[in-house]
Structure 1
């Protein structure tokens, strides 16, 4: 399928742009599965047929919405993120976090149960309260933690191990993939992290 905005319905192009604005990144086919019926229809039309169809569609989107790249790069601000889900949360954190709080990307987690040296996705901390809160983005599973695909089945134990490695005093806030695709849910999780490092928060700094 050749590129060109004229080959695709404008309503599909604009819907993709709307969904990307909702999530905060150029959404891929996996994200479309968590964004409702219309998004699922887009997934079936352009993602499932194969890479050629998807690339052509993304090129058409870029022609109509130049601020949306054909391919969202995981390297941003001199950092390398593991997934679009993690990148989306990073962008939310940047725009939400008060200037009085510090954001660390891929910080070391001390005292892990299963690993001597481990890294979290994010850590929010406050020098005023001396508290910090880790955040883990679970980009492979939704909140039900059900393994539908072969990839999910193969990586479920590994993911559980990652989420349970934290010392009891440093349990992270978890943001699952379906939460990333819901602005209200992801913002609620980030507000929880911010509240946890406030003066009257319950979490201690690591």
Structure 2
């Protein structure tokens, strides 16, 4: 019988706490995901700190399945971080990870006097009779409401850096301008989603717009 000289992982098992990826990279990914509130995708790393760019270049931009293997390695070390984040939660289908992150962020912030609607209808819109917003917070006492739009394709400069952004810019602007003047939404751009203090400040403004004592009640 011909000898088999191939590496046998059963004969030579991997040493404990090591793998294909440096543990510092796995830990950094887990830290960034905890910061944003979702398992950050490669495109989200551009809106995070400089160290995130290194992860982006090493595992996401390199292609050839490196990102999927890296995410699986993260899941093995941090079981609460799935290898693939699903956009469905609590019966809602979200359009992007940015929208899902905002949903997870606002839920614990709501005082008892404010309710949250996901993908509510907006009436009286320009360009169309009715449309759907991303979120709406409303006072259960006065009925006063405030819409929230997550602009997951652009940062606050609204600059188009890639072909997809160039193609979608006019469509996105029409979406934002369709609101009646008395119902201007709170805007949360993608870079704000990746900055906890800024997304919390924007959501706090939306809640305070419908209930002056909302945050004190929540506290």
TM-score, normalising length: structure 1: 0.93
Aligned to 1:127: 140
Match of 1:6 in 2: 19
Contact 1:86–1:137, Cα closer than 8 Å, also in 2: yes
Distance change >3 Å, CA 51–CA 156, structure 1 → 2: farther
Distance 1:118 1:63, change over 3 A: same
Aligned residue for 2:203? 190
Unaligned runs of 5+ in 2: 1-16, 215-219
Which of 57, 60, 64 is the equivalent residue of 2:77? Answer: 64
Distance 1:20 1:5 in 2: 21
Structure 2 CA distance for partners of 1:64 and 1:177, relative to 1, 3 Å:
same
CA-atom RMSD in angstroms: 1.5
* Pair 1:80 & 2:88 matched: no
2:66 pairs with one of 47, 53, 64: 53
Structure 1 position 35 matched with structure 2 position 48: yes
Q: d(CA) in 2 for partners of 1:186 and 1:89?
A: 8
Q: Displacement of 1:127 after TM fit?
A: 2.1
- The offset of 1:117, in angstroms, is 2.1
- Deviating beyond 2 angstroms after TM superposition, the runs of 4 or more aligned structure 1 residues are none
Aligned-pair CA distance for 1:14:
0.3
**Alignment check: 8 A CA contact 2:120 2:134 kept:** yes
Q: 1:140 is matched with which residue?
A: 153
Cα deviation, residue 103, structure 1: 0.2
Structure 1 or 2, whichever has the larger Rg, is 2
In the alignment, structure 1 residue 106 sits paired with structure 2 residue 119? yes
